[in-house]
Amino acid sequence: MPSPLMDLTPSAALGAVEGNTAHAKPLRTELFRSPIIPFLYERILPPIWALGLRNLGGIDTEFRLVTDFFGQSLAIVADISCGTGIMARRLALSGRYKHIIALDYSESMLAQLQQQARLDGISPSQITIIRADVEALPLASNSIDAIYAGAAMHCWKDALEGIRNIYRVLLPGGKLFATTFLKPFPSIVFRFFSLQELRDIMVAAGFNKDNVQLQARGLYGTIWCIK
């Protein structure tokens, strides 16, 4: 049985009110709703990332960095902006955590995640799949042990609002591992950041500056934060 998908976006909750553009999203968010993108994510991008675009070694390296930082025996780990669940599925299959929340704005990416999770033998009791907006995160404050947001912030409409929401839902002592792409990539469709801009966002969202660590590898930025 596939894991069910809950739609908790503001537009689903309020219904599509004609002329209401309060929750309209930019192209950098909307394009992931196209069915072609999940196809690329599962079949084409991982070997390209592994050549060095997403750390040397791609998602394997990222999985090691994430699990080293999170440690063992956490209750709830959320993959926010999980896409097709490349990391969420690995975290679920690792057996290190009691429950995984996989959350994304794109119903197409989540449909691929549902299908793949079933093929991987991940049961609905191991993973909760939610369509939601990181900028209006429908999770309780102080409820999540650790959050992964991989290659995500450059796709959000308002990165500061997204990180504010993440800070709010993390438990005290909770951990955030995030990655994104950096300048001088030009911000035409996506919004790219300098390391200083990323640090400013983390601190403005609530993280103590001493608990924020950043690293650039080429044009790929990695962020470690503890609430």
Ligand X SMILES: C[S@@+](CC[C@H](N)C(=O)[O-])C[C@H]1O[C@@H](n2cnc3c(N)ncnc32)[C@H](O)[C@@H]1O
Positions in the binding site for ligand X (CB under 6 A): 29, 32, 81-83, 86-87, 104-106, 109, 133-135, 150-152, 155-156
Least distance (Å) between residue 210 CB and ligand X: 27
Residue 173 or 189 having the CB closest to ligand X: 189
Q: Which amino acid is located at 109 in the chain?
A: M
Least distance (Å) between residue 110 CB and ligand X: 8
Least distance (Å) between residue 142 CB and ligand X: 20
Residue 173 or 185 having the CB closest to ligand X: 185
Phi, psi of 172 (to 5 degrees): -55, 130
Residue 187 or 208 having the CB closest to ligand X: 187
Least distance (Å) between residue 106 CB and ligand X: 3
How far apart CA 28 and CA 37 sit, in angstroms, is 12
Per the structure block, which two tokens stand in for 196? 């200083």
Residue 55 or 172 having the CB closest to ligand X: 55
Q: Is 180 exposed, middle or buried (0-12, 13-18, 19+ CB in 10 A)?
A: buried
Rounded to whole angstroms, what are the CA distances from 163 to 3, 158, 198, 199? 27, 9, 10, 11
